[in-house]
Each structure stands twice: as C-alpha cells, then as structure tokens.
Amino acid sequence: MRRAHAVAHASTRHSAEGGGKLSLARCAPGASRPTPSPEVPIINDQRLFEARPWHEPDVVAAAGQSSLVEWAQRALLQNEIATARELAGLTDAELTHLENEFSGRRTRPRPTWQREAMPLGIASLLLAGCAFAAPEYLVRLSDLGAQLMRIAGVALVLIGVLALSARYLALFTGAPLDRAYSTLGVYVSQLQDRHPWLYETLSVARHEAADEYRCKVLNERGLLRGADYVLMCEIVRVHEALDRARPANFVVEALQLLPALSSPADDGGGGEPRLVPIAAGRRGQA
C-alpha cells in the first residue's frame, strides 16, 4: 500500500510540474479527454478556404517571395555557370514567379529617390533661372531683395546639380546590376517561340549528354528555360574536353578505321545453287 501510494503521489506531482509523461488520472478508463484551447481553434477560416475544391495555391507564396533583383545582386558575385545551376535547381513555381516578375518589368526597378532626382534637378535649375532673371527683367526689387533672389538662385542651382549628379552616378554604378537583371530574365524565361536561345538550344540538344539532361528536366521539373540552355552548353563543353583528353591512338582508330562488317550467318545449306534458265533446260531435253 505504501508503495502504491508513493507511485500515485509521484505521478501526480510530475503531472503538476508539466512533465512529458502521462499521469495515472489521464490513463484511467473513465477520464475525460482534454478540451482544446479556445485561443487556437482547430478549424479556422483559412483552413476551410484551402480545403475547397476550387482552391489553387498561390504561386507567389509557393515561391517564397524571391525577388529577381536579389538574384541579380547574387549573380554579380559569381559566374554564369553557378548562377544557372542555382536557378535550375529551383522549383517550377519559383521560376514562374521570377519569370512573371521579369515580364511585368523588363528593367530593374529603381529606388524612389532615383526616380524623383531627375524631375527635382530639372525643376531646381528652372527655378534658379527664374530667380536670376526676376530682379533684372520681371519685377522691380530693392537691392536687398535682389541679393536674396540671387542667393536663392545659387542654392537652387546647387540642389539641381547635386540631384542630377546623384542620379547619373547611380545610373553608371548600377549598370552591371542592370545587365545582370536582364540576363537573369532570359535565364528564367521558358524556351518558347520568342526566346533568343531557342534554336541554339536545339543545336546543343543533339549531343547525347545534353539530350539526357533535357529529358531529365522535363520529367522531374517542367519546361526548359534559359538556365537549362547554359547548363547544356557547359555539359557539351565538358564532354568535348574529355574527348580531347583521350589518347591519340584511340582517336585515330575512331576516325580512320571503318566499322567491321558483320559476316553473313551460316545456315548450314552451303553455297547458293546456281540458277539455270528455263529455256536452256527445255532445249537439252529435246
């Protein structure tokens, strides 16, 4: 009795402290099931919406909200083969999201200050011209007023020059990123009728190893894209390098020797019998 009482007391204490094991009261046959917490409902509106037959998962959500600009920044730090390999390893939903992003915006999106720097600089220069011309040609001002207008004109000129300089400086420094953005747009685009690498891909796919890669992509991921063409070219280049590394005697044998002709199968009937003209046979009998 003491031992059973001690076991029950220890189990009740362990349950009160939040232990991982079930207590004796929970394992009893007549014990009631714990009710779920009202703060975390089992069925909510989102689950009901996803359970409907016509519901389709969002491609953008499946793609993890990856941005083509982020991929362009990453492409600046590595070569084209590494970038194409990483893009080819994405799922078809992720590549579709990047392709839709590039289709909606063919050029790299600019920050807000770069888009507003050009109008601000032009407007500042125009106002500076008005400020310099106002005391002389537009209105009559005193010496103090004219001096203030000239100071304002100089300030507007500085603002306009700084805005335009920052805009063009950002344009020149962002040129590699713009090229990477455009190149990645071709990488993630499907090889359709308007793709610039369509016929080049057809020529490369004639190689046995490249065609094997093409079939693997079509079976496992989906349609071919520009990144797949880059990898197929690399596969062909590696195989050609391996061919150039072969010994010269094997290369000469493969080029100069004709394939061995297969001998006719011997059916055991000996040589083919000679044909005798029918007319000659009849004359002999006569």
Q: Show me where the domains of the chain are located.
A: 63-103+179-244, 112-174
Contact in structure between 106 and 186 (CB atoms under 8 Å): no
pTM above the 0.85 mark? no
- Helix pair 175-188, 80-88: axis angle to 10 deg: 40
Contact in structure between 66 and 59 (CB atoms under 8 Å): no
Q: pLDDT tens string for the chain (286 positions)?
A: 444 444 444 444 444 444 444 343 444 444 444 444 444 444 455 555 555 555 444 444 434 445 888 898 888 888 889 999 999 989 999 999 999 989 888 888 877 888 888 888 899 888 888 888 877 766 676 777 778 888 888 898 899 899 889 888 888 888 888 899 999 999 999 999 889 999 999 999 999 999 999 999 999 998 999 999 999 999 999 998 888 888 887 778 778 877 766 555 555 555 555 555 565 555 555 5
Contact in structure between 204 and 226 (CB atoms under 8 Å): no
Provide the pLDDT for residue 253.
Answer: 79
Using CA atoms, how far apart are residues 188 and 191, in angstroms rounded to an integer? Answer: 9
**Residue 87, SS3 per DSSP:** helix
**Residue 225: Cβ within 10 Å count:** 29
Provide the pLDDT for residue 58.
Answer: 45
